[in-house]
Chains A and B, each alone.
Chain A
Amino acid sequence: MKAKVHITLKNGVLDPQGKAVEHALHGQGFKGVSDVRQGKFIELKLTGSDKAKAKAEVEEMCKKLLANTVIENFSVEVTD
C-alpha cells in the first residue's frame, strides 16, 4: 500500500513563502493568481493490507512527527 500525505498551513497562519511565490508569479505575467499557499507532500510505502488501519497509523505519524498541528493541517490518502 501507499499513503499520500498533504500538509498545509492552517487558515489564518501567515505564509510569507506563498506570498513571495505569488508576487513572483505576478512578475511573470500570471495576473489572475491570488492566495498562493505553500505546503508539503509526503509519500509513504506501507506493509499490510488493511487500509483503514494504515490510514489511522499514518494520521498518528502526522500528529507525532510529519506535521506540526500548531500551524499545520494534514490529510491522508491510502491507495494500493
Chain B
Amino acid sequence: MRAGVVVFPGSNCDRDVAVALSQSTGKKTAMIWHRDTDLPDLDLIVVPGGFSYGDYLRCGAMGAHSPVMQEIKRRAEKGTRVLGICNGFQIITEAGLVPGVLMRNAGLKYVCKDVFLRVEDSQSAFTARYNAGQIVRIPIGHGEGNYFADDETLDRLEGEGLVAFRYATPTGEITLDANPNGSQRNIAGVFNKSRTVLGMMPHPERLSDPKLGGTDGRAMFDALVETLA
C-alpha cells in the first residue's frame, strides 16, 4: 500500500501518522505539501490532525479549500481511500467528503484523554481488523469535536451503517457520561456512502505502538495494508 499524508501550515500530527503508517506498510510515507496538486499514485491519503491555517474562520474551513484538497476530492471520487483524523475530520466535513460538522465541545474545554470507542461497522478497509461491537481505546485531543448533523442525516447514516465509531463506556454502553464533547448520538467517526472515506476525531496513530501504551490504533493501519496491498 502506498500512503501519503497531507501537510498544512499548522498540521502537527502529520509525522506521528506517517510513522504509524510506515510501521504497517514497511514503506516510506509520502508527505504532501498543501500547495501540491500533482500527487504521486496513492492508495491512501491521510488528512492529519493539528490546527491547519490556525483554525481561521471555522476549524477546517480554509484547509477544505486549499489546492491539495481539490485533487484529494477528485481522487476520493475515483475510490482512493481518504482518512481524516481530528482536524483532518473537520477539513473533510468542510470539503463535503463526509456529512456533518464539528462544533465547539459542549463543555467548551479542550479535552485530551484516552476514550473508549465502540466499533459500529467493520465492513470497510479501515475497520476490517475490528469486529462490530468491539471496544477499543484511542486517544482524543480536541476543542471542537462535537459532531452535529440534522436528524434526517443522522437517521440516514445509522440506517446505512455509516457510523464507524461511537464514544462508549469500557463495557460498550453508549451513555451521556461516555460522550466527551456533546456529539450527536455519541458519534466519533463516520464514513462516506461507499465507506472509502472515514472521518474520526480520535487519533489511532497515538496508540499504535506498545511503547505508546497500546496498539488498538495499529489495527486500522494494518487493516488498510491488508485490504489495499
Residues of A within 8 A of B (CB): 13-14, 16-17, 20, 64-66, 68, 70-71
B101 touches A70 (CB 8 A): yes
> Footprint of A on B, CB under 8 Å?
57-58, 61, 65, 94, 100-101, 103-108, 146, 148-150, 182
- With A16-B105, A20-B108 known as contacts, the answer to whether A68 contacts B58 (CB < 8 A) is yes
Given pairs A68-B94, A71-B148, 15 additional interface contacts (CB within 8 A): A13-B148, A14-B106, A14-B182, A16-B104, A16-B105, A16-B146, A20-B108, A64-B65, A65-B57, A68-B58, A68-B61, A68-B101, A70-B148, A70-B150, A71-B101
9 A-B pairs with C-beta separation under 8 A: A16-B105, A16-B106, A17-B104, A65-B65, A66-B57, A68-B61, A70-B101, A70-B148, A71-B103
Q: Which residue of B lies closest to A12 (CB)?
A: B150
**Which A residues touch B101, using CB under 8 A?**
68, 70-71
Contact partners of B149 in chain A: CB under 8 A: 70
Contacts of A70 in B (CB 8 A): 100-101, 148-150
Residues in B with CB closer than 8 Å to A64 are 65
List, in ascending order, chain A residues with CB within 8 A of B105's CB: 16
A70 to B100, CA, bound (A): 7
Closest residue of chain B to A40 (Cβ to Cβ) is B57
Nearest chain A residue, comparing its CB with the CB of B101: A70
Interface centre among A13, A14, A68, by most B CB within 10 Å?
A68
Residues of B within 8 A of A20 (CB): 108
- Cβ–Cβ < 8 Å partners of A65 in chain B: 57, 61, 65
**A8 CB → nearest B CB, Å:** 14
Q: What separation, in Å, do the CA atoms of A16 and B108 have in the docked complex?
A: 7
Q: How far is the CB of B148 from the nearest CB of chain A, in Å?
A: 6
Chain A residue nearest in CB terms to B93: A70
Q: Which residue of A lies closest to B184 (CB)?
A: A14
Chain B residues with CB under 8 A of A66? 57
A72 to B57, CA, bound (A): 13
**Docked pose: A14 CA to B182 CA in angstroms:** 10
B108: which of A13, A17, A71 is its contact (CB, 8 Å)? Answer: A17
Chain A residues within an 8 Å CB radius of B108: 16-17, 20
Min CB–CB distance B68 → chain A (angstroms): 16
Q: Which residues on the A side are within 8 Å of B182 (C-beta)?
A: 14, 16
Contacting residues, chain B, for A71 (C-beta < 8 A): 101, 103, 148
In the complex, the 10 A-B pairs of residues with the closest C-beta atoms, listed nearest first: A70-B101, A16-B106, A16-B108, A71-B101, A68-B101, A16-B104, A20-B108, A68-B58, A71-B148, A17-B104
What separation, in Å, do the CA atoms of A27 and B88 have in the docked complex? 38
Chain A residues whose CB sits within 8 angstroms of the CB of B65 once the complex forms? 64-65
Residue among A13, A16, A70 having the largest count of chain B Cβ atoms under 10 Å: A70
Residues of B within 8 A of A14 (CB): 103, 106, 182
How far apart are the CA atoms of A68 and B64 in the complex, in Å? Answer: 12
Q: Smallest distance from the beta carbon of A69 to chain B beta carbons, Å? A: 10
